[in-house]
Amino acid sequence: MIMNNPLVSIIVPCYNQGEYLIEALESVECQTYLNWECIVVDDGSTDNSKDIALSFCEKDNRFFYIYQENQGPSIARNFGIANSHGRFILPLDGDDKIHKNYVEQAASILNDNNEVKIVYCKAEFFGKASGEWKLEDYNEDLFLIRNCIFCTAMYRRTDYDKTRGYNSIMKEGLEDWEFWISMLELGGIVYKIPKVYFYYRIKEQSRNTDWESKIKMLYPRIMNIHSDMYIQQYCSLYSRYYNLRNSRFYSLFYWLREKEKKWIDFKVYIYHFLVKLCNYITQHLCHKS
């Protein structure tokens, strides 16, 4: 029974999110998959988050509450995982929520396929905005430029233990993207459930406000952490582009792209990637030597 239905640890970091925490924990409570534990990590909250978390602990012994001084979401997630016992891990921020079938579906996929490392799903916004969160499907090449996997994706504890965990220097954001890159450095399949099982809350003020400026600040930090992987990908993509550009099929590819706008603009994509990477190497890595 335990092997077929392994324990899933749902990690909920929370910092002054008491007004939203009930919805998040209720979405955990109503899961169709029953073999879970939920660890609420209070990241130094000064509101009623503790009282809310403890109220769930009192009525359901699968909920646990732990506290740390405010250190940010990365250390809070790591702290929660360190105190967990599940074979599978599912992070969930204290202001978001999940569909009742999400844990069951994601755990089944991981349990049945050892090659799959990360399972996520389609998503919708709620709160100050609504509608589908239109994220691209996972693509190994594009993933180093644009993240398409939100933090609430399921993975194995053993794969987490092979990484450095969530990086504390990414306190301003993108810590989930950096973590996914770390986990996928050794390979593995990413599986997207084609159903809406995750709900991302939009607020007037959040850590993701002014996202474009944060991307400009934090993206070079990710590239620096994973410089070897970015350089390897640069060489691979350049080689593929060069071979394509000099092949008889390039003209056909270009014609098809013009006829069908849904085709990937491979030339522009490669140019965009190479320019970014060359600029970064010139400005950062070359100065180290």
Query: Mind listing the pLDDT tens digit for each residue in 220-235?
Result: 788 888 877 777 766 6
Please write the tens of the pLDDT for every residue from 262-289.
444 454 555 556 556 655 555 555 444 4
In a domain, 120, yes or no: yes
Residue 218 in any domain: the answer is no
Structural domain total, the chain: 2
The reply to whether 246 and 280 lie within a common domain is yes
User: Do 136 and 250 fall within a single domain?
Assistant: no
pLDDT, greater one: 134 or 212: 134
Lowest mean pLDDT among 99-103, 122-126, 133-137, 154-158: 133-137
Spatial distance between the Cα atoms of 29 and 129, rounded to a whole number of angstroms: 25
- Cβ contacts of 142 within 8 Å, gap of 6 or more: 136, 148, 269
Residue 38: which of 78, 81, 2, 73 has the closest Cα?
A: 81
pLDDT tens digits for 101-132? 999 999 999 999 999 999 999 999 999 998 99
pLDDT band for position 169 (cuts 50, 70, 90): confident
Nearest to 189 by CA among 220, 235, 149: 149
Judge if 48 and 82 occupy the same domain.
yes
- Residue 215 belongs to some domain of the structure: no
- Could you tell me if 36 and 119 lie in one domain? yes
Based on the domain organization, do 179 and 57 belong to the same domain?
yes
150 lies in the same domain as 272 = no
Q: Do 277 and 247 share a structural domain?
A: yes
Asked if the structure places residue 143 within a domain, the reply is: yes
Percentage of residues in the chain having pLDDT higher than 90: 61
Q: Of 209, 240, 257, which residue constitutes the final position of a domain?
A: 209
CB 16 within 8 A of CB 95: no
Give start and end residues of each alpha helix (H) in 185-282.
Answer: 211-225, 227-245, 249-259, 266-280
| pTM score of the predicted model | 0.81
Same domain (yes/no): 157, 118 = yes
Question: Quick check: is 53 in a domain?
Answer: yes
**What domain range includes position 140?**
8-209
Residue 227 CA to residue 277 CA, distance in Å, equals 10
Residue 36 and residue 100 in one domain: yes
The SS3 of residue 126 is strand
On whether both 111 and 248 belong to a single domain, the answer is no
Q: Are 58 and 128 in the same domain?
A: yes
- Bridge partners of 201, per DSSP, are 126
Whether residues 259 and 154 share a domain: the answer is no
